[in-house]
């Protein structure tokens, strides 16, 4: 079905308040879930509302906990998220990092003991829309076998890079997890009776496969770029732990604290005005975009895109027809 931004946000906020989130935090969380949905990232927007409510009910997220700055040293801060709502903690951290970037040109915040931040791109977008460059990641509980193994020991850690758009236009935003496909994508593809566009994992006998059901069964999802994504995921895990004074996959157990319950996040924020003049930056980004998008399209290409461009088509559709929400998801939310 289709709903308005306001309608969606109000309904999500109602649910969060009902499950014990104080009004101010419920407003923030509902807004972020709604914005992600508006951007077309349904999986981490409206489709995660029920799960967040479930986590609140189980006590895996403490709605009343506030983030606390534990270490404050030059251009670095470490924040204890106290298992409070991940969105609130991450926005607090991003604000701190921007303040340090104002003062020192660059600032880093490590957030330990926090909970799921939903869409990683939210925070890249948040700082880039204010004129900053952001490099951010989170570690997660294990859900992916390291390259050469059949047993999940790596998190599907999302990694984010963001920078301002041209003349305040849409920001340049990379937001990618370390697996080639998420389990959500496997499910959607299987339900549609389709194969994956490219191999996405191994079946239970260790054969590379594009059959989503076989991967769901084996739990042997594949890192993007094979050994490259495996190594990248490992680095994000340990650097997340170290730079946030927190823990990583080995200590995160989704069955006792939910996905990302107690995880570590890192946000590095840079003020690019300290390195490049604003007009020159505009021109640099514009030329890079034109260059890449001007490449001759491949056979059967659906277009050449730059990172962050994907949401534009959703904005258009959602502005014209209202924001899309899956009927079942909407019914579940109304019933909460």
Rule CB under 8 A: which of 136-165 touch its own copies? Answer: 145-154, 161, 163
44 is catalytic: yes
Nearer CB in complex with its own copies: 8/111: 111
Nearer CB in complex with its own copies: 9/257: 257
- Please select the residue that binds its own copies; options are 234, 261, 325, 330, rule is CB under 8 A: 234
Site string for its own copies, 107-136 (x = CB under 8 A): xx-x----------------------x-x-
Q: 């470490």: which residue's tokens?
A: 78
Distance CA 107, CA 93 (A): 10
Q: Which stretch binds its own copies (CB under 8 A): 27-35, 83-91, 99-107, 187-195?
A: 99-107
- Please select the residue that binds its own copies; options are 49, 94, 106, 329, rule is CB under 8 A: 106
80 binds its own copies (CB under 8 A): no
- Please select the residue that binds its own copies; options are 103, 187, 253, 256, rule is CB under 8 A: 103
User: Residues 6 or more apart from 265 whose CB is under 8 A from it?
Assistant: 90, 93, 110, 111, 114, 117, 136, 137, 138, 139, 240, 244
User: Residues 6 or more apart from 21 whose CB is under 8 A from it?
Assistant: 29, 56, 63, 85
Q: Which residues does residue 274 pair with via DSSP β-bridges, in sequence order?
A: none
Nearer CB in complex with its own copies: 292/334: 292
# chain residues binding its own copies, by CB under 8 A: 87
User: What is the footprint of its own copies within residues 296-335 (CB under 8 A)?
Assistant: 296-307
User: What is the footprint of its own copies within residues 254-283 (CB under 8 A)?
Assistant: 268, 270, 272, 274-276, 280-281
- CB contact at 8 A, 333 and 13: no
Q: Which stretch binds its own copies (CB under 8 A): 24-32, 46-54, 284-292, 320-328?
A: 284-292
Burial 139-150 (b: 16+ CB within 10 A, else e): bbbbbbbbbeee
Give the β-pairing of 263-270 and 106-114: antiparallel
Nearer CB in complex with its own copies: 28/78: 78
Q: Which residues are catalytic?
A: 44
């Amino acid at each position: 079905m289709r709903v308005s931004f306001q309608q969606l946000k109000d309904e999500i906020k109602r649910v969060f308040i009902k499950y014990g989130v104080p009004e101010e935090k419920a407003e923030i969380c509902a807004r972020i879930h709604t914005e992600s949905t508006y951007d077309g990232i349904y999986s981490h927007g409206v489709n995660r509302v029920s799960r967040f409510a479930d986590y609140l009910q189980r006590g895996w997220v403490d709605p009343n906990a506030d983030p606390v700055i534990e270490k404050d040293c030059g251009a670095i801060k470490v924040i204890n998220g106290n298992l409070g709502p991940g969105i609130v903690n991450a926005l607090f951290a991003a604000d701190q990092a921007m303040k340090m970037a104002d003062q020192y040109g660059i600032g880093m915040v490590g957030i330990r003991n926090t909970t799921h931040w939903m869409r990683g791109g939210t925070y890249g977008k948040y700082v880039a829309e204010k004129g900053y460059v952001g490099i951010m990641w989170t570690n997660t509980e294990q859900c992916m076998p390291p390259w050469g193994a059949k047993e999940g020991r790596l998190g599907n850690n999302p990694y984010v890079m963001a920078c301002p758009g041209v003349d305040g236009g849409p920001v340049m935003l990379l937001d990618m997890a370390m697996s080639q496909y998420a389990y959500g994508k496997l499910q959607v593809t299987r339900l549609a009776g389709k194969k994956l566009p490219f191999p996405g994992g191994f079946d239970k006998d260790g054969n590379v496969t594009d059959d989503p059901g076989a991967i769901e069964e084996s739990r042997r999802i594949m890192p993007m770029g094979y050994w490259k994504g495996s190594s990248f995921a490992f680095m994000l895990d340990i650097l997340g732990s170290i730079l946030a004074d927190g823990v990583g996959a080995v200590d995160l157990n989704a069955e006792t604290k939910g996905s990302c319950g107690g995880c570590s996040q890192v946000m590095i924020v840079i003020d690019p005005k300290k390195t490049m003049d604003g007009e020159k930056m505009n021109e640099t980004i514009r030329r890079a975009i034109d260059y890449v998008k001007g490449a001759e399209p491949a056979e059967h290409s659906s277009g050449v895109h730059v990172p962050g461009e994907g949401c534009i088509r959703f904005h258009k559709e959602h502005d014209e027809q209202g924001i899309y929400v899956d009927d079942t998801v909407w019914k579940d939310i109304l019933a909460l």
